[in-house]
Every structure is written in C-alpha cells, then in structure tokens.
Structure 1
Amino acid sequence: MALIRGCVSRLSNYTQKTIPALSLVSRNSSDAVELKALLAEKIKEEQKIVKSFREQYGSKVVGEVTVDQVYGGMRGIRGLVTETSHLDPEDGIEFRDFTIPQIRKLLPKTPGGGEPLPEGLFWLLLTGEVPTLEQVKSVSKTWAERAGLPSHVVTMLNNFPSHLHPMSQFSAAITACNTESKFAKAYSEGVPKATYWEHTFEDALDLIAKLPTIAATIYRNLYKDGSSIGAIDVNKDWSANFTSMLGYDDPNFTELIRLYLTIHSDHEGGNVSAHSVHLVGSALSDPYLSFAAGMNGLAGPLHGLANQEVLVWLRKLQKDLGPDASEEEVKEFVWKTLKSGQVVPGYGHAVLRRTDPRYIVQRDFALKHLPDDPMFKLVSQLYKIVPQILLELGKVKNPWPNVDAHSGVLLQYYGMTEMQFYTVLFGVSRALGTASSLVWDRALGLPIERPKSMTTEGLMKLVGAI
C-alpha cells in the first residue's frame, strides 16, 4: 500500500418548491476535460505499478488474523486497497501523503480566504497532485453546472413527511438520482470494462455536484418553512453555493464549511461509510446506489452522530455547572461521567495516538474567529482536563480529542443549531473521498468483494479448540 501510494505521489423555478434546473446539466462540461485527461495518465501509470507489484508479491502474506479480530468487527485486518488516503497513528489522516496542516497550506483558496477549497482536495485525491487555482475553479464551475436535480427527486423531497430524519431523506434522494447514472447506462450498453472508470468519473462529478442541492432542500424544508434555495451561481465555489442555498450569508461561515468539507472528506477505506460505498460498488452498482449505501451506514449512531453526542454532553455540563464552572467542578463532572460507565464523547480514536489534526485546525479556526465564545472556551477547558484524567485511568490508548470534539461547537456558533442535520453535512463531505475511491476501484478493475465467513464451531475447529 505504501509502495503504491508513494509511486502515485511521485509520478430555475418549478411549480412546487424549486431547485434550479441548469441548461448545462445534461451535457459534459469542457472544464472537466483537463482533470479527466490527467486522471487517465495517472490510471495508466498506476495500473502498471499494481500489475507489476501483484506479479512479484501477490503471494506475500501481509499479516495474521486473530480470533478476536474475527469477532471484533475485523478491526485492524489489512484487507482493502484505498488509494486516496491513509491514517497514520501519529500524523493523522494523510490525503495522498499530505497531512491536514499541509493541505490547509497548499490547497488553493478563494482570494482573501484562509481555508482550502474542497474542490482542490477532490483533485488531489483523484490525481495525487496539488491543483492550481484555475484548475480548482474549473471543478467549481463543473459542479455548479451539474447541480440541478431531476424533477422526480424534487417532487420526492418536497413530499417527505417532516418527521422523516434528514439522513433518510438524503439517502433516498441520492438513490433516486440514479436515473441519471452514466455508468448504469454505459454498462447496460455493454461498454468495455477498461472504460468503466470513465463513466464512474462522470457520475462522481454529477453526484458531488448534486449533494449540496439535495442537502439544502432538506434543510430548507425541515427548518426554514420550505423556502426556495435560490439560484446556483456558476461563478461561486462549491461551498459558497452550498451555504447560500442553506440560507447563510456570513462569509466566515462559508470559510468554516470549506474547512469542514475538506477535513471530513476521507478517512481510509475501512470505516463503515467508506467501506459500504466500496462494497456495494464492487457489485458494479452505480455510484449513486453505492454512495447511498455509505450514507445509510453513516446514519448509524456509532459512526456519524458523534459530534451531536458531544454537544448534548456539553450542554448538560453547562446546565449542571453554569457558565462559569471552575476547573475542579469540570473535573468532577468528567469523573462522574466516567464512573457512571459512560465515555467522554469526542475523546479517543481507534488508530490515532495523539490529538487529531482535524481537531487542531478547527481549534485554530475558533481561535481566529470566535475566541470569546463560551462553548469554545468550555471545549478549550476540557482539552486541558480530559486527557490527564483519561491517562490517570490507564485504560485509554489515546486520551486526546478527535474531530468530533469541536465541529458541532463551530456550527452552533454560526446559527446552525439543528443537530440532526449535522450528519448530512458529514455525508456531503464524505462524497469527495468515496467517489474518488470508486473511480480508482473501477480503474484498477477491483473485483466484487466476498470475504470468507465461518461459524463459531468452524472457527473453533480451525484453531484446535475442539
């Protein structure tokens, strides 16, 4: 895996509540041509590397599997190839070998802006190369041109009951968009397997373009009395169009969303959402169906709801202790949480062994834009207190805060208090990584995924227990 990654790094209005149906949506934008051509070159190089690597080392054993791993959700078993990112225990998530601090510095930004444009990360994930601002602008324009939704999806979204969870609406709408799948159409026409990645690439562009439109429609319907999301501006970047459709006009909130969508985009391939997209895609389900599967996994409380749990816990702390709690009072509250058998939400990570770099960049953002916010001050106080308590317990390998310890606080500050919607934001971001990976899955011709399962009795016989 490291060898492969290293080589890559080198080398309008409707009758109902409306969503703009742009005239350019139905055709491929010429602005995507450069990215596709570059990707084609990278794919040829990578195919040669993988072919040679497998010929020489295909029978090489990469690890052993323990009984505990079989029963423990396959945690730590090396069994997937994901080209786009890697999780390092010390440096955190690395996007094509670039750390979070590096991409925050290197990726193009809007003039006068301080945060990276997610379009640049998408380019990086696909190609392994840091794009220019002009290249990023071409992606922004492409996504704006393709952001319109099919009329049947608009109708469906506008007729969902208000008690249907935002993630259920999000997943259903994504699934219904598969009427637009270029991959499904090409496959039904019998195109050569070698071109699968090209049609997946087009679907990836279309899917990512439509997600903010879907998400904003859900948000407006549920929380803003169904008001129109307005027009999509082809001269705005992806995040700016998104925040405008959501109904926010604070440029700092747009900057936050640019940062949020970038740092939540990918996290290796073994987490539930990424793995689900890969798994369903391996059956040659189109990218819309595959991504919807990932969103159903993200909706689970053990995966995409962590920042909500952090906010609920923080609010309880504030309610119980008041706004001016002392350090000793906060320590006592943390100990009370732990002694009751609960965890401190937002702390710890299965792989990381230091503070999550995604937490750090969010903290930097808060120090710059909201240093006096009471909730941020509480988060900062906990940053000093919780790790020491967890170290004192002696049972926690990583006592440091992760990405979820901070993100909800930032969203709340700018007025997005609807916590059930947070996972939808997460989902919009996660498309960048999973869609990129799907393109590479098809480019490398990865087969349908089918691990071997065993009964407990069969496993006991295998290890000589019976």
Structure 2
Amino acid sequence: MGTNPFSEITPQINHYASLCQKTATIDPADYTTYDVKRGLRDLNGKGVLVGLTEISDVCATKLVDGKQVPADGELYYRGYNVKELISGTGDWNHFGFEECTYLLLFGELPNKKELDEFTAVLSQYRTLPTSFVRDIIMKAPSNDMMNTLARSVLTLYSYDDRADDISLPNVLRQCLQLISLFPQLSVYGYQAYNHYHEGQSLFIHNPIPEYSTAENILHMLRPDSKFTPLEAKLLDTALILHMEHGGGNNSTFTTHLVSSSGTDTYSAIAAAIGSLKGPRHGGANIKVIKMFDDLKAHVKDWNDDEEISRYLTALLHKEAFDHAGLIYGMGHAVYSLSDPRAVIFRTFVERLSAEKGREDEFQLYANVERLAPQIISEERKIYKGVSPNVDFFSGFAYNMLDLPVELYTPIFAVARIAGWSAHRIEELSYNNKIMRPAYKYVGHHREYIPYDKRNQ
C-alpha cells in the first residue's frame, strides 16, 4: 500500500521545516521597540480599538475617581443585561435562545406575535437540501466536528442560487438558514462519525417544528429523543450565554475581517468556524474537562483543600496534566473579578448536578473555583483579577447532558452563529472599507543572485 501524502512527514519536509526555523530571527524586544500591539492588545491586555458596534457590550471595569478599576463583569445584548434576559425566561416551558437571536439581529425584544412568526421562519428553514445528509455529511466523515461543520457550510454555497449576493435581504436570509441548520449539521456530522469511525448505531432524527433549538439538539442527538425540562433549560441557557461576546473575540473579529472583503456569507462563516475551533478560543472547555479528569486521578480527597492546592500548584509549575503551566477555565482576556456568564451558568449547573446525583463533582469544581485564584495570585504577578470563565463550568455541564466531547465546540458554534450573523450584517451595513492592518518589515534588503551563481 502507498503512503498517505496528507499525513506523513518525510525527511524532506523536516528539512524544509528547519529552513523555516532559521528564518525566525525576529527579536521579541523589537515588538516593544516598534510599539506593536501583539495579539492586538496593549501591555495591560486591553484590546486595540478597531471598530464600533451596537450589538453587545462586555464590561469588566468601572470608573472610580477618574480611573478605570476592575469590577464584576457584565454582559449586555443590545443594551439589555444578559442576566435579565435569562431570568426573564424563568418559565420552564419558555426558551430564550430564539428570542435573543431576534434581539441581536433586529435590535429589539420581540412581542409574542413577532416571536411566534420568527420561530416559525427558523423552523421552516430547518430543512437541508435533498440528499445533503447522504451525499455530503455521510461521505468522508471527519473525526473533528468543526471541520465537518465548516465543510457543510461551504458546500451549502453550491445549493444557493444567490450565494454571492451580499444585499441585506439576501444575507439575512442566508444567516437565518444557517442559524436554523447549525444544530442539524453538527449533530448529524457527529452521528456519521460515531457510526463510521466508532462502529455505533446510526440515528438521524428529523427536527421537530415545535421544539426550540435546545430541545431539538437533545432530540436529534439521543437515540430515544428523551430529555428532562431542566436538561433542555440548561442547554438553552448555555446557548444564550455563548451566542455573542462583543466584536473583538477572535471568531467574531474574523467575521468582520472576512466580511469586509465583500465575500459571500458561507465563506465568512466558515472562516469564523475555523477560528472558533482553536483551543485558545472555542475549544477551551475540552481542556477544562480533561484537566479535571487528571485531577480526579491524582487527588484522592476532593474536599481536601491542601491536596487540591498541591495539584493546582503543580499545574502552574508545569508538573501536572499537559505541563503547559495553566489552570484551564481560570482567567479571561477581558474579565477580571468575575465572568458574568460563569456566575449565571453556575446556578444551573448546580441544579443539574443535583438532578443527576453528581453533587460531589460539583463540589470539587466549587473547591477549585475557590482555591485556584488564590494560588494563581500567589504564584504569578497578574495585572488584573482572575476568576472562573464560562468554560470552567460548560464542559462539566455538557458531560452531565451526555453530550459527546466531539460536540462541545460545535455547540458553541450553534450559539455563536447568531452573533456572527448580527456582526456580518453590521459590517456590511456600516463599513465599506476592507480591513488592512499593517505589519512592519524588519528583515534586510539583499542583492539578487543569479541562479547559476548560487552555491550548489
């Protein structure tokens, strides 16, 4: 049998890689010399201002005596505090993701008639092209669902007679279809992988028109389609908390960046999916769940603060888990004293842990939540507070929902497509200029050497 050119690294490739390494001669100090904002952030971690938005506001400081000081985090969608949006869906039979999607797209909360009409439109769009599941999703299933999702989105371009039309009505139509179809594309992609790669039974459940997005995800994923009201409510809450987080997060900024070129919706959203896939962005909750698996294997008493603290210290010293020196789920690029999403989600996770009989595990998370900030502050100099972020609890929540790890990041995408859509529309509506930041060349100019005079 021949070798697979798409996976094998040959000696020649290793040689080429060594040549690449030889060219990496930029002095890290030069970034300071030229005032380069690495990661598009200043030395205090604050993002460089590159745009304006009316979609959401991420707040982590307050003004005291003329100075901005760290404060408990707040998140606003179109001016509404997300805490109030979620508390407003208190009825167990009322789900808020569709309502908040309407808010992000159109700027106002819908009344009952508007929400009923909107959910009917989303339900109507939950229909994949004929044979799409068989011909696209079932063919060459990937072991990474984010790649499967991106491929499906790009393939939908071929089924759209107006794929390149970037007029507002058409882009909105495309976005609504993608918002509606992301749950199916994600779950069906997993079912194909689970069948062809893992040898498990194949289940393809059609979405139920009367179900919310959260309910349909659980219905399509589970063989018996059964779920409890609390399970659906927790997943709906997770979708709301993940659907939008300002224009500067990596995948949303990618949406703005790619949209500014005037490209089609499918290409812009596929690019955002590629960004979200990264472990520094949407894949962070997987790292948290794996870290806790390692912690459980090495900490005998989950209520022993001293034993837990030793493990957390070992993490920071690169002596435990993946030796990266990180306590995953702790800290955020924007928030300092608290991540409001983690604060809100914590309550629902605690309720579900009681329903599932997993209170001991929740208490372990609570112990790490309490101890980790203390240990980090003792071990490292930090310019702002450190607290659990939403990823700290989401992996545990998804595990209790029996969601496979392969779907953790796609579920994030199912939520964030609402925010991406709002930002794409905003970019196309207000900005008519392609984004073109600058990179300073710090190499040297050289004289050209003819081919026959180069050293052989």
TM-score range, shorter chain: 0.7 to 0.9
Q: Where does the alignment leave 5 or more consecutive residues of structure 1 unmatched?
A: 1-64, 188-195, 459-466
Structure 2 Cα separation of the partners of residues 323 and 412 of structure 1: 22
Identity in percent: 24
Structure 2 Cα separation of the partners of residues 240 and 226 of structure 1: 22
Q: In structure 2, do the counterparts of structure 1 residues 183 and 200 end up closer, same or farther at CA, with 3 Å as the change threshold?
A: farther
Equivalent residues, number: 381
Correspondence for 1:306: 284
Correspondence for 1:222: 193
Other structure's SS at 1:94 match:
strand
For 1:171-182, what aligned pairs fall within 5 Å after superposition? 171-181=150-160
8 Å contact 1:310–1:346 — kept in the other structure?
yes
8 Å contact 2:146–2:273 — kept in the other structure?
yes
Q: 1:253 aligns with which of 210, 224, 231?
A: 231
The structure richer in helix per residue is 1
Correspondence for 1:238: 213
Q: Where does the alignment leave 5 or more consecutive residues of structure 2 unmatched?
A: 1-30, 42-46, 61-70, 319-323, 445-456
- What amino acid maps onto 1:104 in structure 2? I
For 1:78-89, what aligned pairs fall within 5 Å after superposition? 78-89=49-60
Shift of 1:164: 3.2
Shift of 1:105: 2.1
Structure 1 Cα separation of the partners of residues 159 and 423 of structure 2: 20
8 Å contact 1:362–1:406 — kept in the other structure?
yes
Correspondence for 1:455: 441
8 Å contact 1:346–1:402 — kept in the other structure?
yes
- Moved >6 Å (runs of 4+): none
Correspondence for 1:400: 387
Structure 2 Cα separation of the partners of residues 68 and 323 of structure 1: 51
For 1:372-451, what aligned pairs fall within 5 Å after superposition? 373=358, 374-396=360-382, 397-416=384-403, 418-451=404-437
- What amino acid maps onto 1:269 in structure 2? G
Q: 2:110 aligns with which of 131, 135, 138?
A: 131
8 Å contact 1:265–1:431 — kept in the other structure?
yes
8 Å contact 1:359–1:406 — kept in the other structure?
yes
Q: In structure 2, do the counterparts of structure 1 residues 198 and 265 end up closer, same or farther at CA, with 3 Å as the change threshold?
A: same
Q: In structure 2, do the counterparts of structure 1 residues 375 and 138 end up closer, same or farther at CA, with 3 Å as the change threshold?
A: farther
Correspondence for 2:453: none
CA RMSD of aligned residues (A): 2.3
Shift of 1:141: 1.8
Structure 1 Cα separation of the partners of residues 231 and 193 of structure 2: 20
Shift of 1:381: 0.9
Q: Is 1:112 matched with 2:114? A: no
Correspondence for 2:344: 361
Task: Note the alpha carbon deviations across 1:161-207, whole angstroms, 9 max, x for none.
Answer: 4x5311111110011112344653546xxxxxxxx212111111111
8 Å contact 1:387–1:400 — kept in the other structure?
yes
Structure 2 Cα separation of the partners of residues 186 and 324 of structure 1: 56
Structure 1 Cα separation of the partners of residues 170 and 431 of structure 2: 14
Other structure's SS at 2:173 match:
helix
Shift of 1:363: 0.8
Q: Tell me the TM-score normalized by structure 2.
A: 0.78
**Structure with max Cα Rg:** 2
Structure 1 Cα separation of the partners of residues 201 and 249 of structure 2: 34
8 Å contact 2:302–2:364 — kept in the other structure?
no
Q: Is 1:169 matched with 2:169? A: no
- What amino acid maps onto 1:369 in structure 2? L
Other structure's SS at 1:456 match:
coil
Correspondence for 2:5: none
Q: Tell me the TM-score normalized by structure 1.
A: 0.76
